[in-house]
Structure 1
Amino acid sequence: MVSIKDIAKKAGVSISTVSYALNGNPKVTEETASKILAIANELNYIPNAAARSLKKQETKIIGVFLTNYGGAFYGQLLQGMQEALSMKGYELIVCSGRESHRFLPERMIDGAIILDVTFSSEELINYANRGHKLVVMDRELDHPNINQVLLDNKAGATLAIDYLVEKGHQKLYVVTGPDCSYDANQRLHAARQAVKRYGHIQYTEIGGNFNKPAGEHAAEQIVNEYTEPAAVFCLNDEMAIGMYNYLDKTNLRVGEHIHIFGFDNIEVSQYIRPRLASIDYSEQKWGAVAAEHLLKLLADESVENERIYVSLIEGDSVKKVQ
């Protein structure tokens, strides 16, 4: 990382003069300040907001970047991160929004866990090229300073489709997720591939957004089209719960007329009735593994990419049809 010492050396001035110039102090002439600022720009100097930690070049803070804080998904994930980090003396801050991206280049955090579509892959590669250590949970990137800890979305979606077909369902809906979501796209691609293996399936996709209103909208469409029992694979549990909410106001019943399968097995899905069939994995473990891998990167230890495995949880929301 370029420091004010490097700028001072190239400019032929003292460190204090560089500091004055960078902070707009009138003690430095305009000519000298302009020269120093030009050199700072040439060297890609980035101010260090963690100056109090300059001696050790660490803050003992890790940032996790999320697209948003909505839904019931993030609690266990963050808990797993926090527990793994606290064991090693690190603290966790949760960030969202484009303005928070500056925490990385300004060295306000030691490293970052990324689950945030507002970061472009190009931006993350650029940070990694500058030496920042990153763990990504929502994309595939190949760089020595970036580690991947991803869900096995392909296996989960394939398990779901196979399960519905094995239960005798011939009419199948898939409620998709946000176009920008890596997990949603991986699940949708795997679902399409699985359906192709069954040439007799009547298959329909309904656009979704990983939230309850999207599930309610999908349920409304399915009810309006209803002629016979149908199975629905929602690419996350939030949308599945939205479907329950809408269907509760109709004459169609979950597990009899509309058979619903989710993904994530969030805690609330275990208590709705009939019990929601879903793809399960440990959000807490996913978060803990991501944190552990980042700490290894920061310690310059070798660490392999990892995939979090999933399993199928049966529920009475899906029953066998003839």
Structure 2
Amino acid sequence: MVSIKDIAKKAGVSISTVSYALNGSEKVTKETAARILGIAEELNYVPHAAARLLKTRQSNLIGIFLTDFNGSFYGDLLQGVKDYLSRNGYDLLVCSGTRSRRLIPERMIDGAIVLDETFSDEEIIQYANKGHKIVVLDRELHHPNLNQVLLDNKAGAALAMEYLIGLGHDKIYAVTGPIGSYDANQRLRAVKQIVERNPQLEFIEIQGDFGKASGEAAARRIEAEYSRPAAVFCLNDEMAFGAYRYLRNHSSLVIGEQIHLIGFDNIELAQFSQPRLSTIDYSMRKWGALASEQLLKILSGETVDHERIYVTLVQGESVKPITPLSD
């Protein structure tokens, strides 16, 4: 690998002069800098990122940590993060898995955005205690080096449940998410609060994992138990489309007639589904951009408040009014 020592030897100058030229310093003349840069290009010199980081203490890299890359959920979120960072001179590194976390203590990234349930709260607090700047999207933590940008999960789940009840549905299934997921647990908590306030409801909870396969499994069970029209609140759209797939391909039950489906996230596929999926909408790009904005503010020493991403209801033909059976 070519080093600045090689460039200095060929240019007939000192190593420090090469370093000044490569870093755009005014300590060397434009003519000398141009000659050194030409030699560096000729030799295919690649700057050593770790060495530069030790000198500048800044990588201009932001890491986002995700549990996994499954489903279509992350695309717009990551685009929102990338667009904002790019406009502000930063690049994005997308990470998953425990080994990637060493980038934080090794300071190979300037800051981190965390949407990864496998991080423990204690681990994140330890990083914050050591001065690392982090924005979390999936938990509530309080520390001067931490900020949280959270979805209004409870409001979204309440909107979905009240919509179903308002249309006369009195038998409601909830297909839940991963046990360790903050978003899933917040949504389910709101669902149960609505159920407690409506004792006339027949409520059945089915464990899911936010994946299509668990939505299919839930639909299979619902079909086996079917005795009258039922509403199904899948706590994300991926599971709702798993239920779609099973009901369309393996069941005589019709969505919007016997089975009334509502999801959460309003992923792109939702607008093309037939019947159109009822769901809870929010801007994933805005979520990603706001998380990036908050992180860069923390890095620059600004004091920031926690932020929340608000949600709205999208009404589709997958849910229709129903007249409750009389006693």
Q: 1:250: how far off?
A: 1.1
Q: 1:117: how far off?
A: 1.3
Instruction: Give the equivalent residue in structure 1 for 2:262.
Output: 261
| Structure 1 length-normalised TM | 0.84
- Which stretches in structure 2 are left out of the alignment for 5+ residues? 1-48
Instruction: Give the equivalent residue in structure 2 for 1:224.
Output: 224
Q: 1:108: how far off?
A: 0.7
Query: Structure 2: which amino acid aligns with 1:257?
Result: Q
Instruction: Give the equivalent residue in structure 1 for 2:164.
Output: 164
Q: 1:199: how far off?
A: 1.1
| Length, aligned pairs only | 274
Q: How does 1:186-197 map to 2 (within 5 A)?
A: 186-197=186-197
Is 1:148 the counterpart of 2:148? The answer is yes
Instruction: Give the equivalent residue in structure 2 for 1:283.
Output: 284
Query: Structure 2: which amino acid aligns with 1:304?
Result: D
Paired with 1:231 and 1:295, the residues of 2 have a C-alpha distance of 43
What's the secondary structure of 1:316's corresponding residue? coil
Query: Structure 1: which amino acid aligns with 2:148?
Result: Q
State the Cα deviation string for residues 186-210 of structure 1 (Å, max 9, x = none): 0000110011111100000000000
What's the secondary structure of 1:65's corresponding residue? strand
State the Cα deviation string for residues 262-294 of structure 1 (Å, max 9, x = none): 000000011010000000000000000000000
What's the secondary structure of 1:221's corresponding residue? helix
Is 1:304 the counterpart of 2:312? The answer is no
State the Cα deviation string for residues 47-76 of structure 1 (Å, max 9, x = none): xx8332222210000000000000000000
Kept in 2, the 8 Å contact 1:177–1:207? The answer is yes
State the Cα deviation string for residues 161-186 of structure 1 (Å, max 9, x = none): 00000010010000000001000000
Query: Structure 1: which amino acid aligns with 2:251?
Result: T
Kept in 2, the 8 Å contact 1:148–1:305? The answer is yes
Kept in 2, the 8 Å contact 1:50–1:106? The answer is no
Instruction: Give the equivalent residue in structure 2 for 1:134.
Output: 134
Is 1:184 the counterpart of 2:190? The answer is no
Instruction: Give the equivalent residue in structure 2 for 1:25.
Output: none
Indicate the structure (1 or 2) with the bigger Cα radius of gyration. Answer: 2
Query: Structure 2: which amino acid aligns with 1:274?
Result: P
Q: 1:238: how far off?
A: 0.2
Instruction: Give the equivalent residue in structure 2 for 1:65.
Output: 65
What's the secondary structure of 1:54's corresponding residue? helix
What's the secondary structure of 1:149's corresponding residue? strand
Instruction: Give the equivalent residue in structure 2 for 1:51.
Output: 51
Q: How does 1:86-165 map to 2 (within 5 A)?
A: 86-165=86-165
Identical columns (%): 61
Kept in 2, the 8 Å contact 1:177–1:210? The answer is yes
Instruction: Give the equivalent residue in structure 2 for 1:236.
Output: 236
Paired with 1:225 and 1:54, the residues of 2 have a C-alpha distance of 63
Paired with 2:187 and 2:117, the residues of 1 have a C-alpha distance of 17
Kept in 2, the 8 Å contact 1:50–1:107? The answer is no
| Structure 2 length-normalised TM | 0.83
Paired with 1:169 and 1:95, the residues of 2 have a C-alpha distance of 42
Q: How does 1:5-16 map to 2 (within 5 A)?
A: none
State the Cα deviation string for residues 130-157 of structure 1 (Å, max 9, x = none): 0000000000000000000000000000
Paired with 1:285 and 1:293, the residues of 2 have a C-alpha distance of 12
Paired with 1:289 and 1:309, the residues of 2 have a C-alpha distance of 12
RMSD of aligned residue pairs (Cα, Å):
0.8
State the Cα deviation string for residues 211-245 of structure 1 (Å, max 9, x = none): 10000000000000001000000000000000000
Instruction: Give the equivalent residue in structure 2 for 1:22.
Output: none
Paired with 1:250 and 1:225, the residues of 2 have a C-alpha distance of 13
- 50-59 or 310-319: bigger deviation: 50-59
